[in-house]
Structure 1
Amino acid sequence: MGDANDCAHHEPGGDAAGWNGDVERKKVALMRACVEKEDPAAKEVDDQTLRRFLRARDLDINKASSLFLKYLKWRRTQVPKGFISETEIQNELFQDKLFTQGFDKKGRPIAVIMGGRHVYSKRNIDEFRRSVAYGLDKICSRMPPGQEKFLFIGDLQGWSYSNCDIRACVAALDIMQNCYPERLGKVFLIHVPSIFMKVWKIIYPFIDNNTKQKFVFVEGKNLRETLLEDIDESQLPDIYGGKLPLVRVQDCGK
């Protein structure tokens, strides 16, 4: 495989800080020519996906191409069948910690992760990584036309040190940021115990600057009010005062 820097001289002039629709379209076309030369599998990927990788690297074609080519390699090795089967992640699904239901006011699908149900002592890191890809694929499959992002509610009710798993947190961040770039719209962290903040200080450096801005810590007394700013009551999970019951991620679409 050649170096993505081989494409550097093709990039049109202009400051990435002033990008617009035309600039994006031109750069997507140039990026496509670059990555298809390196990996024919890139031909099967749509322009919207390439654009997300470009945006994740501030429209730098070289950096975006490198990230995208790594993603294709990751997809081939970690999701060789094109999907993760539920039999491959039975232990993770048995814990019933990921749910999906409803859409926010921007049309982004909502997912809820119950951090207090993740048990470190029962975790296998390879299975966990597969479960992250499984969950993100499921959430992305619910996106309506024209929507590219999702909203997460991270519920830490009952979270304690038995749930503390820094390696898993870093692995999930790595997959989301590098394999699903520009997919995360917002994260509400709710029912956050004080002991979690010690862990937050450890994992915070692993979050890229753009993603850091998407995390919102919600005080318990303002929980429903804060969630309703982004989510209509009809789409809010019932456990937070809304109308929709939560649906386990494995039951999504059934």
Structure 2
Amino acid sequence: MTLEKRPVPTDPKYDDYDYPIEAPEPKPGHPGFTTPEQDAQVAQLRMMLEAAGYTERLDTLSMLRFLRARKFDVEASKKMFIDCEEWRKTFGGGLDDLTRNFDYKEKPQVFAYYPQYYHKTDKEGRPVYIEQLGKIDLNALRAITSDERMLQSLAVEYEKLIDPRLPACSRKQGYLLETCCTIMDAKGVGIARAGQVYGYLQQASGMSQNYYPERLGKLYIINAPWGFSGVFSVIKRFLDPVTVAKIHVLGSSYQSELLSQVPKENLPKHLGGDCLCEGGCELSDAGPWRDPQYAKPAKWEKPKVDTTAPAAPTAGEEAPAAPATTTATEAPAAA
């Protein structure tokens, strides 16, 4: 099927982008390649959510992600969005405030037992996310931190992926990037350790699947233990074919395929690349989001504007009368 490129129909009430918003490839339901029916479904979903009292994160790109995650079933997309917003209100005392104020002071100690970090980009310009599963030692971690703190850190890093990481990458590439390239290194994972970490990983993967839809670009599971490929061949029968196509299970001879996706100079040396960041790649947070040419402050870093109060008059001006009704929905929501 040939997809016709079309302008992204934005809504000035919610869409406030300072980076490219057209997808680089013609994929159904992606920005720049939607049908008139899909554009109408975006408007319908937004209208239904407004009627339910929601005023934030109703921008066009977000609406499209939730709709794609539910095959453009508007009712199912609405439920997924509401479930996500209700989770955001309660998680960590409120995810918006948590993101602004989270201080992961124990991070260097935690990473000694569970490195999980964003580091530079793949060949398509997406952020690369790395986890070293074989180092996980939950007993040691719980002497330093808690499962709750680790999950909070994961959520905060997802928020930072959305802004500022992906916008910076989109500016650098000149097209919209909404996903990341994930590398999970299973070296050292054995049956004895797998049981110890299963509960935590289940919570972490549930967060990704339920509250951050359409954020996975590619997933490489490297150093997969013997027998894992057979297990995965059974699991993938229950997964969406689109998701299965993103997952690559590789053994210890993974370097050639991984380096076809990630430039050698961007890949940490312990994974077969050339990169040796000062202080360690896992703590560097290196990427376009650190480059002044592409980086901009995240919208969640900016103080919220009180749209219920009239602007202060300048010298010599008379203060304007307050409007009869003004709501927060009159200000653009964060993209």
TM-score, scaled to structure 2: 0.61
Q: 1:232 to 1:116 in 2, by over 3 A?
A: same
3-state DSSP of counterpart to 1:152: strand
Q: 1:96 to 1:172 in 2, by over 3 A?
A: closer
C-alpha distance 162-113 of structure 1, shift in aligned 2 (>3 A):
same
Between the aligned partners of 2:229 and 2:102, the Cα distance in structure 1 is 34
State the partner residue of 2:47. Answer: 33
Does the CA-based 8 Å contact 1:104-1:235 persist in structure 2? yes
1:86 CA drift (Å): 3.0
Residue correspondence of structure 1 range 83-122 to structure 2 within 5 A: 83=99, 85-87=102-104, 92-93=110-111, 95-121=113-139, 122=141
- The 3-state SS of whatever aligns with 2:131 is strand
Give 3-state SS (helix, strand or coil) of 1:186's partner.
strand
The one-letter amino acid of 1:247's match is C
Q: 1:216 to 1:127 in 2, by over 3 A?
A: same
Which runs of no fewer than 5 residues in structure 2 stay unpaired?
A: 1-27, 171-175, 291-335
Once the two structures are TM-superposed, the CA of residue 200 in structure 1 deviates from its matched residue by 6.4
Moved more, 118-127 or 82-91: 82-91
Q: 1:248 aligns with which of 282, 285, 288?
A: 282
CA apart distance, 1:240: 2.7
4+ runs deviating over 4 angstroms: 88-94, 195-210, 249-254
* Matches of 1:71 and 1:183, distance apart in 2: 14
Q: In structure 2, what is the Cα distance between the partners aligned to 1:202 and 1:78?
A: 33
Identity across matched positions, percent = 24
Structure 1 position 191, deviation (Å): 1.3
Distance, in Å, in 2 between the alignment partners of 1:182 and 1:104 is 18
Structure 1 gap ranges (5+):
1-17
Q: Partner of 2:181: helix, strand, or coil?
A: strand
Match of 2:266, SS state, is coil
User: In 2 relative to 1, CA 114–126 (structure 1 residues): closer, same or farther, beyond 3 Å?
Assistant: same
Shift of the alpha carbon at 1:195?
7.1
Name the counterpart of 2:157: 135
Show the 5 A alignment for 1:62-101.
Answer: 62-79=75-92, 80=94, 81-83=97-99, 85-87=102-104, 92-93=110-111, 95-101=113-119
Per mean C-alpha deviation after superposition, the further-off stretch among 143-152 and 156-165 is 156-165
- CA-to-aligned-CA distance 1:181-219 (integer Å, 9 cap, x gap): 000111111112237679869987996664344221112
Cα separation, partners in 2 of 1:127 and 1:226, compared to 1, 3 Å: same
Give the drift of 1:242: 2.2
Q: Take 1:64 and 1:88, find their aligned partners in 2: how far apart are those partners? A: 37
Question: SS of the counterpart of 2:189?
Answer: coil
In the alignment, what sits opposite 1:181? Answer: 213
For the residue of structure 1 that corresponds to 2:152, the secondary structure is helix
- Residues in 1 aligned to 2:52 and 2:111: alpha-carbon distance in whole angstroms: 37
Deviates more, 1:210-219 or 1:179-188: 210-219
| Letter of the structure 2 residue corresponding to residue 69 of structure 1 | I
Q: Which one of 148, 157, 169 corresponds to residue 126 of structure 1?
A: 148
Pick from 207, 218, 228: which aligns with 2:250?
218
Asked if the contact 1:173/1:206 (under 8 Å) is kept, the reply is: no
Is residue 232 of structure 1 aligned with residue 266 of structure 2? no
Distance of 2:156 and 2:234 partners within structure 1: 26
Structure 2 equivalent of residue 5 of structure 1: none
How far, CA to CA, are the matches of 1:54 and 1:34 in structure 2?
Answer: 13
Paired residues of 1:53 and 1:181 also in contact (CA < 8 A): yes
Asked if 1:157 is matched to 2:187, the reply is: yes
Q: Distance in 2 between matches of 1:199 and 1:166?
A: 16
> Separation in 2 of the partners of 1:46 and 1:188?
31
Q: Quick one: distance in 1 between partners of 2:123 and 2:232?
A: 28
Q: Could you tell me which amino acid in structure 2 is paired with residue 176 of structure 1? A: S
Rounded to whole Å, the distance in 2 between the matches of 1:173 and 1:205 is 18
Does 1:24 pair with 2:58?
Answer: no
Structure number, greater radius of gyration:
2
Structure with the larger RCO, 1 or 2 (CA within 8 Å, 6+ apart): 2
Over 3 Å counting, the alpha-carbon distance change for 1:69 and 1:228 in structure 2 is same
Measured in 2, the distance between the counterparts of 1:248 and 1:170 equals 23
Once residues 138 and 115 of structure 1 are traced to their aligned partners in structure 2, the CA distance between those partners, rounded to angstroms, is: 22
* Aligned-pair Cα RMSD in Å: 3.1
1:110-145, Cα deviation, whole Å (9 max, x unpaired): 011010222233454433322321232333332122
Number of residue pairs matched by the alignment: 235
**Cα offset for 1:104?**
1.2
Opposite residue 186 of structure 2, the aligned amino acid is L
Q: Name which of structure 1's ranges 24-33 and 228-237 shifts more when overlaid on structure 2.
A: 228-237
Q: Which has the higher helix share?
A: 1
